[in-house]
Amino acid sequence: MASSQIKRIIYIEDDSDMIDLVSLILTRRGFSVKGADGGVKGLEMVLADVPDLVLLDLMMPDLDGWDVYQQMKAQSKTRNIPVIVITAKAQAIDRVLGLRIAKVDDYICKPFSPNELIASIDRIIEKQKN
Q: What is the mean pLDDT of each run of 10 residues along the chain (130 residues)?
A: 73 96 96 97 97 96 94 96 91 81 90 96 90
pLDDT number for residue 97: 81
pLDDT number for residue 129: 83
**In contact, 102 and 66? CB cutoff 8 Å:** yes
pLDDT number for residue 47: 97
pLDDT number for residue 92: 78
Q: How many other CB atoms sit within 10 Å of the CB of residue 72?
A: 22
Q: Strand pairing of 53-56 and 32-36?
A: unpaired
Domain ranges of the chain: 8-129
pLDDT number for residue 1: 40
Superfamily of domain 8-129: Response regulator (3.40.50.2300)
